[in-house]
Amino acid sequence: MADRQQQLVLSELNAIIVEILLRLPAKSLVRFRCVSKAWRDLIWESYFIKNHLSHNDTKNILNSKLLLSTSPPQAIDYAALSNLASSNEEDDGPVASREVDYPVDTRLVCLKIFVGSCNGLVCLLLDFNFVLLNPCTRVFQSLPSPTLFSRYRTAMFYGFGYDSATDDCKIVVGSYRSLARSGHRYHFLNGEGFKETMIEVFALKTGSWRTLERLDFVMLIGQGCVVNGALHWLKHQPSEHGLIVSNIMCFDLAEEKFREIAFPCPLNYAERDYFSVGIGAIRDCLTVYFEPDGLDYRMWVMKEYGVKESWAEIIRIPFEVLPQELGMLQPLFMFENDEVLMTINWEVLALYNPKENTFRNVFKTHVMNGWRQITTYIETLVSPLIGAAPNLSNQHCESFTTFV
């Protein structure tokens, strides 16, 4: 009888320990796997990882990290940026950053692209190889190449997001099939020679690529942003002014189908000297921003997803207060006090105060060429490995100390 009571006490104690562990940060749990074999096995169990993810507020960006594609990569806590935004200090930052040590060797890689992030996993395109990486656990997985790489050797547009219908993370990559023959010249900027757009989707659960039904030629470029379970790109078309944006293309990750979303501004914006248009997500709303040449900087959000009439201009920065030698001004996040975190010319992070029309720098990289891409990720235990939990029994605990 005493032995049975003791077992019940131990069982209840273990249950309490598990509940405590589920509420701890992922990076702490990575360290705690060294406590004992039982803890190590528990922390890498798939059910524990899933429950731990559900206990994390993944929607709260203040739990996230900002990852810059510097060399080496650098990470910044959004919580630290929020503290600066809420402070009344007039002096510029800087906010602290830390180097991120990729476990995969990228020294000989020429092209490094952030495809996106999902549930703590960061998807990288290293030359022509896709890699899934968990920066917190430092576990990574090299993925098979899509078939379009064997023919075109390039990804014109790409994205990474979560499909809630299948509880899976998906990579989307697309390229263009051309009609170019030997000796035939075609031009990317005017779309000559292109026939159709080819799309492939990779699902982490199946570990394989699928080719979707081919589309009539549509020009999409770069990284898609995730809003409302879908990836979004600006749709470009040629004009006498070069490439201009005609609409927004949306790819639903569950239905795996494209549709168009109305553009917020008149289609003749190019004639008004807006030399660049960008797309993103602010406060979980689809966002479009216009970088001017001699005009005010403008930012619009779609307050009700999919409703054309809900587009509203929320930020207009007077031309005279814009940073000098402005080459690129990209909004990243809007804090509770309405200050906007922005990246300037790929080398400075700044907070814009719309009430005072002022900028203050909070971070400046000392790395040559700055960064060209940014993504946001949360620290989780989610494994990038296909169909199996990570087997780390032969690795030393010290291998994780670079992510303290």
CA 238 – CA 218 distance, rounded (Å): 11
How far apart are the C-alpha atoms of 126 and 124, rounded to whole Å? 6
Strands (E), 104-167: 112-118, 121-126, 129-134, 139-142, 157-163
Number of CB atoms found within 10 A of residue 283's CB: 12
Q: What is the dihedral of CA 174, 178, 181, 182, to 10 degrees?
A: -40
Phi and psi at 285, nearest 5°, equal -115, 145
Among 86-100, 222-236, 247-261, where is mean pLDDT lowest? Answer: 86-100
How is residue 265 annotated by DSSP? S
Token pair 């800087």 is found at: 94
Residues 303-328: what's their mean pLDDT? 89
Q: Is residue 216 scored above 80 in pLDDT?
A: no
pLDDT of residue 28: 93
H helical segments located in 279-359? none
The helix or strand, by DSSP H or E, that contains position 15, with its residue range, turns out to be helix 2-22
d(C-alpha 371, C-alpha 367), whole Å: 8
Total number of residues shown for the chain: 404
Residue 91 has pLDDT above 60, yes or no: no
Per the structure block, which two tokens stand in for 243?
Answer: 């490439």
Sequence letter at residue 226: V
Question: If you average pLDDT over residues 340-360, what whole number do you get?
Answer: 92
The pLDDT score that the predictor gives to residue 88 is 63
Could you tell me if 225 and 280 are in contact, meaning their C-beta atoms sit under 8 angstroms apart?
yes
Backbone angles phi, psi at 275, to 5 degrees: -85, -10
| Average per-residue pLDDT for the chain | 82
- pLDDT of 149 reads 79
Q: In the 8-state DSSP scheme, what is residue 171?
A: E
Among 21-25, 169-173, 236-240, which is the least confidently predicted range? 236-240
pLDDT at 326 over 50: yes
Q: For the residues 104-113, what does the mean pLDDT come to?
A: 78
pLDDT band at 2 (very low <50, low <70, confident <90, very high): low
Other CB atoms within 10 A of residue 230 CB: 25
C-alpha distances out from residue 208 to 25, 99, 151, 156, Å: 31, 32, 18, 20
Position 318, amino acid: P
Residues 6-42 pLDDT 10s = 454 446 658 888 899 999 999 999 999 888 888 888 8
Domain at 63-324+365-403: CATH architecture:
6 Propeller (2.120)
Sketch the domain layout of the chain as residue ranges: 63-324+365-403
